[in-house]
């Protein structure tokens, strides 16, 4: 009987040690924020296929500024793309405008916008993009693959400057109006920032 | 943000882990928080932190008793215990309150990307992670739908804080002084004081256990069984930021098996309540506003000695002027009532007494399952006629 009690006591002590060692208390000091970054790339007075470019300095965002010395990683999670205004040279009806594709790229830069050679990350694409379906709506969201998000994170930790390139393909159909007076689009991007 | 989280964690586990909790207090002793908290309203911060306060409350109300058999003698001892809680999935999310116009399609179009799916025009509340939870879900917003420049709208894409993927959490360590009385009563006192900047976090607890069964002759003496009542009241304060109290009442039962080995169990009801107050940097002051509380007075209407502070407030508001929550746009204080998920618990445990030492380990079912273990040392025990027995 005494041996059994000793074993029970030993088991209780062991369970206690295991239980207390399993606490994740160190994890909780990491704070994980999400910040939204927005771009308004203007495509102006150009023929498609061509691109619009928008420069971003994350220092413009208060949450980033407040935490930049403590950032462990900064990952792009997803983004939404929409078109706010568009006009072709001959006032083509937006219901009839369809791009074969629209591709999105992130290119790291220096503080003055000079591109860092050899680095260009494709964030995603929309194929067969009907402009009317993308007109002032919040429903076109692209999730950035985590592997790519991690790659970009390493870059963002080194430099908070980058450009987002929106690359418009040619239009679907024949006898279409390829000359745009402007395409005013908008992107909201969600970044996850982990600080320690 | 980190400072406040660290403060709360520091409160939770400060002694056991020698945690260095730091925070910035204003001249009134209220915690002042930076812009990271612009993602939070008071209501949403309450939901985000409720599981953490539950852990604090559960830890405070743990280790109030072991065996229900109390000697008819005076005694003095100490008890040191630690506890760990298991966070259930239900406490890893809360319902975040959305700004009023969300879901009104005459004002905006919105969409949330949740679990790989796009859900449109959500309104009311949306599930987001608590401090123990995982990834949050941003809401993409386009407004106004017709006319105007979306960039000038207060309805913009918003993000929420993420959780920290915690499934187990250490709770408050309990160091108690234990006094026995010949009425088969045990009194327990615990005090924890932790300096945080120039302020002091204080936790004072008073507990009493009273054996009942001998008054009713419930058990035969040779069965080595006992039934007792337990009650506790505790309060915790930190300057003008934290003011909370907690109480519990319950019954516990034990049976001894000889050679100092006993099993015990108990059922108790408990609660934790109080207030948590923080202010935003350069935050809202009623004297800066007209009677409606939302329209700024002109600078000339502010007293000369307050004009610099007024200027700082107006400048700080620029950073949040398109925040969808009015509370944040006005930089109002972050204040909420502290709540807990735990209102009752069932405890089972075992105790092994050897000489002056008593090892005890128990586990319990409550809103957060917990494991609690410790050691009690009874230094001195004597009866009414001054006969020292130990």
pLDDT at A24 over 70: no
* Minimal Cβ distance to B17: which of A9, A25, A36: A25
Distance CA B33, CA A110 (A): 32
Q: In the prediction, which pLDDT does B101 show?
A: 85
> Higher model confidence: residue A177 or residue A45?
A45
Q: Angle at the Cα of B302 (from B301 to B305), degrees rounded to 5? A: 145
Mean pLDDT of B176-200: 89
Q: In the prediction, which pLDDT does B263 show?
A: 96
What are the residues whose beta carbons fall under 8 Å from the beta carbon of B264, sequence distance 6 or more?
B65, B66, B67, B68, B252, B253, B254, B255, B347, B348, B349, B350, B351, B362
pLDDT at B18 over 50: no
Q: List domains and CATH numbers for chain B.
A: 2-87+167-283+333-382 (2.40.160.20), 93-162 (no CATH)
For residue B118, give Cα distances in angstroms to A124, A158, B138, B298: 16, 32, 11, 45
pLDDT at B36 over 80: no
Distance CA A13, CA A17 (A): 6
A143–B116 CB contact, under 8 Å: yes
Using the structure block, give the residue that is written with the tokens 């239009």: A171
Q: Please indicate if any CB of chain B lies within 8 Å of the CB of A4.
A: no
Q: Could you tell me the two tokens for B93?
A: 């999310």
Q: In the prediction, which pLDDT does B13 show?
A: 45
Give residue-wise pLDDT tens across range A47-74: 999 999 999 999 988 778 878 888 888 8
Q: In the prediction, which pLDDT does A22 show?
A: 46
**How many H helices and E strands in chain B?**
5, 18
Among A5-19, A163-177, B186-200, where is mean pLDDT lowest? A5-19
ipTM for the predicted complex: 0.81
Partners of B7 on chain A (C-beta within 8 Å) are none
Question: Phi then psi for B155, rounded to 5 degrees?
Answer: -100, 95
Among A112-121, B91-100, B267-276, B304-313, where is mean pLDDT lowest? A112-121
Q: Please indicate if any CB of chain A lies within 8 Å of the CB of B359.
A: yes
Mean pLDDT of A167-179: 88
Per-residue pLDDT band at B216 (split at 50, 70, 90): very high
Q: In the prediction, which pLDDT does B334 show?
A: 94
Q: In the prediction, which pLDDT does B151 show?
A: 56
Q: In the prediction, which pLDDT does B9 show?
A: 55
Partners of B140 on chain A (C-beta within 8 Å) are 80, 138-139, 141, 188
Q: What is the CA radius of gyration of chain B?
A: 26
Q: In the prediction, which pLDDT does B2 show?
A: 56
Q: Mutate which of B6, B14, B36, B116 to disrupt the A interface (most A C-beta within 10 Å)?
A: B36
Average pLDDT of chain A is: 83
Average pLDDT of chain B is: 87
Partners of A31 on chain B (C-beta within 8 Å) are 1-2, 5, 36, 161, 164
Q: In the prediction, which pLDDT does B308 show?
A: 95
Q: List domains and CATH numbers for chain A.
A: 29-195 (2.60.120)
Partners of B110 on chain A (C-beta within 8 Å) are 138
Looking at the complex, report in whole angstroms how far the Cα of residue B372 sits from the nearest Cα belonging to chain A.
Answer: 8
* Percent of chain B topping pLDDT 70: 89
Per-residue pLDDT band at B294 (split at 50, 70, 90): very high
Mean pLDDT of B34-54: 89
Per-residue pLDDT band at B45 (split at 50, 70, 90): very high
Q: Please indicate if any CB of chain B lies within 8 Å of the CB of A14.
A: no
Q: In the prediction, which pLDDT does A79 show?
A: 92
Q: Please indicate if any CB of chain A lies within 8 Å of the CB of B165.
A: yes
Looking at the complex, report in whole angstroms how far the Cα of residue B132 sits from the nearest Cα belonging to chain A.
Answer: 8
Looking at the complex, report in whole angstroms how far the Cα of residue B99 sits from the nearest Cα belonging to chain A.
Answer: 17
pLDDT at B128 over 70: yes
Q: Are A186 and A137 in contact (CB under 8 A)?
A: no
> Higher model confidence: residue A112 or residue B193?
A112
pLDDT at A101 over 70: yes
* Minimal Cβ distance to B164: which of A28, A141, A192: A28
> Higher model confidence: residue B102 or residue B22?
B102
pLDDT at A1 over 80: no
Q: In the prediction, which pLDDT does A5 show?
A: 52
Mean pLDDT of A139-149: 89
Among A114-123, B141-150, B280-289, where is mean pLDDT lowest? B141-150
Q: Please indicate if any CB of chain B lies within 8 Å of the CB of A38.
A: yes
Tell me the pairing of strands B261-280 and B31-33: parallel
Q: In the prediction, which pLDDT does B77 show?
A: 94
Distance CA B242, CA B277 (A): 7
Distance CA B266, CA B109 (A): 53
* Minimal Cβ distance to A141: which of B34, B111, B261: B111
> Higher model confidence: residue B56 or residue B367?
B367
pLDDT at A15 over 60: no
Q: In the prediction, which pLDDT does A30 show?
A: 65
For residue B129, give Cα distances in angstroms to A143, A191, B96, B132: 19, 16, 9, 7
Mean pLDDT of A26-50: 81
Distance CA B139, CA B114 (A): 9
* Cβ burial A101-113 (10 Å sphere, 16+ → b, else e): ebbbbbbbbeeee
A33–B167 CB contact, under 8 Å: no
A13–B140 CB contact, under 8 Å: no
């Amino acid at each position: 009987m005494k041996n059994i009690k000793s074993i029970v006591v030993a088991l209780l002590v062991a369970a206690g040690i295991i239980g207390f060692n399993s606490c994740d208390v160190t994890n909780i000091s990491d704070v994980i924020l999400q910040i939204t970054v927005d771009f308004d790339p203007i495509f102006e007075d150009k023929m498609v296929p061509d691109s619009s470019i928008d420069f971003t300095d994350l220092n413009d965002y208060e949450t980033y500024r407040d935490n930049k010395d403590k950032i462990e990683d900064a990952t792009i999670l997803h983004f939404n793309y929409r078109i706010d205004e568009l006009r072709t040279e001959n006032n083509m009806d937006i219901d009839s405008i369809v791009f074969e594709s629209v591709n999105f790229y992130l290119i790291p830069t220096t503080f003055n916008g000079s591109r860092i050679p050899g680095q260009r990350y494709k964030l995603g694409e929309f194929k067969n993009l009907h402009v009317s379906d993308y007109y002032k709506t919040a429903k076109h969201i692209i999730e950035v693959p985590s592997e790519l998000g991690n790659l970009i994170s390493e870059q963002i930790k080194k430099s908070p400057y980058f450009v987002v390139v929106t690359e418009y393909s040619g239009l679907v159909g024949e006898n279409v109006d390829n000359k745009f007076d402007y395409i005013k689009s908008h992107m909201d991007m969600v970044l996850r920032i982990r600080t320690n | 943000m980190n400072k406040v989280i660290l403060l709360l964690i520091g409160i939770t586990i400060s002694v056991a882990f020698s945690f260095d909790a730091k925070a910035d207090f204003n001249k009134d002793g209220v915690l002042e928080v930076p812009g990271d908290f612009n993602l939070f309203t008071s209501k949403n911060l309450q939901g985000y932190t409720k599981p953490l306060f539950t852990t604090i409350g559960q830890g405070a109300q743990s280790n109030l008793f072991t065996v229900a058999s109390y000697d008819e003698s005076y005694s003095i001892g100490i008890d040191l215990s630690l506890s760990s809680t298991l966070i259930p999935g239900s406490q890893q999310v809360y319902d975040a309150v959305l700004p009023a116009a969300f879901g009104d399609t005459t004002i905006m179009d919105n969409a949330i990307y949740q679990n790989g799916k796009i859900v449109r025009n959500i309104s009311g509340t949306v599930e987001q992670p608590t401090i123990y939870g995982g990834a949050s879900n941003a809401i993409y917003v386009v407004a106004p739908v017709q006319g105007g420049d979306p960039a000038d709208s207060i309805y913009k894409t918003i993000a929420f804080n993420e959780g920290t993927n915690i499934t187990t959490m250490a709770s408050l360590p309990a160091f108690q002084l234990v006094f026995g009385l010949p009425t088969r009563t045990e009194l327990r006192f615990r005090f924890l004081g932790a300096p945080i900047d120039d302020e002091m976090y204080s936790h004072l607890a008073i507990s009493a256990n009273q054996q009942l069964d001998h008054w009713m002759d419930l058990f035969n003496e040779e069965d080595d069984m006992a039934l007792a009542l337990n009650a506790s009241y505790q309060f915790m304060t930190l300057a003008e930021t934290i003011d909370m109290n907690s109480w519990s009442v319950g019954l516990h039962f034990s049976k001894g098996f000889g050679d100092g080995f006993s099993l015990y169990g108990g059922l108790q009801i408990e609660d934790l309540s109080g207030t948590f107050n923080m202010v935003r940097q350069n935050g809202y002051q009623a004297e800066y506003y007209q009677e409606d509380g939302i329209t700024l007075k002109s600078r000339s209407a502010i007293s000369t000695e307050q004009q610099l502070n007024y200027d700082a407030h107006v400048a700080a508001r620029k950073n949040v002027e398109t925040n969808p929550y009015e509370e944040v746009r006005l930089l109002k204080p972050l204040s909420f009532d502290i709540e807990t998920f735990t209102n009752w618990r069932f405890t089972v445990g075992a105790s092994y007494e050897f000489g002056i030492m008593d090892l005890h380990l128990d586990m319990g079912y409550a809103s957060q399952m917990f494991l609690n273990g410790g050691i009690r040392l009874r230094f001195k025990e004597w009866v009414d006629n001054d006969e020292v027995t130990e």
